[in-house]
Amino acid sequence: MAEYKIQTPLTAEVVKKLKIGDKVLLSGVIYGARDAAHKRILDGLAKGEKVPFDVEGSVIYYVGPSPARPGKVIGAAGPTTAYRMDAYAPKMMELGMRGMIAKGKRNDAVKDAMKKHFVAYFGATGGAGALINKCIKKAEVVAYEDLGPEALRRMEVSDFPLVVVGDCYGGDLYAEGRKQWEGKS
């Protein structure tokens, strides 16, 4: 397992270096969006509208942060469970997204799309939202403000600690962990 400091936007070359279990410190611009925002993006595309951010090389963090306290950039910003976005993720990858941040396993369609489009799935520590927000240096709503915590946000992050839980070679850290656990029983 390797350790990397990487910067957004991501390229296929960077993603190809990453393997499950690798530790990553991610810096740059990421976008926060959950299922309601993803649905609006894809519904908009079906109507001929443009995606409200530059998807090419993007990393989307599946997050619905709590309101920021006075003087803070953002409230608690822990990851949500990834499967809620599984219906939307393959299309986002087709549009150019290169990374996803969340918690939990992904379905086979998402894993297949990750291989096809060279995309990494990063795990963030669930339950650590108050600590994760310290890595978020700037946050602003860029679309769908009416969705409240689920609005589309542009966030600038510095050394956001992540683990590669899904790589572009079909590696799945959740499946590997289960195999190892079952082998010890």
Reduced to 3 states, what is the DSSP secondary structure of residue 14?
Answer: helix
Vertex 32: Cα angle to 26 and 35 (nearest 5): 130
Q: Token pair of 121, please? A: 């799935």
Q: Please tell me the chain's helix, strand, coil percentages from 3-state DSSP, rounded to the nearest 5.
A: 35, 30, 35
Question: Which residues contact residue 116 at a Cβ distance below 8 angstroms, ignoring those fewer than 6 apart?
Answer: 93
Per the CB < 8 A criterion, the answer to whether 173 and 120 are in contact is no
Q: Where are the beta strands (DSSP E) in the chain?
A: 3-7, 23-32, 59-61, 99-102, 120-123, 136-143, 152-166
| Active-site choice (38, 103, 105, 117) | 38
- Please say if 38 is a catalytic residue: yes
CA end-to-end span of the chain:
25
Question: Which residues contact residue 38 at a Cβ distance below 8 angstroms, ignoring those fewer than 6 apart?
Answer: 85, 88, 92
Return the active site residues: 38
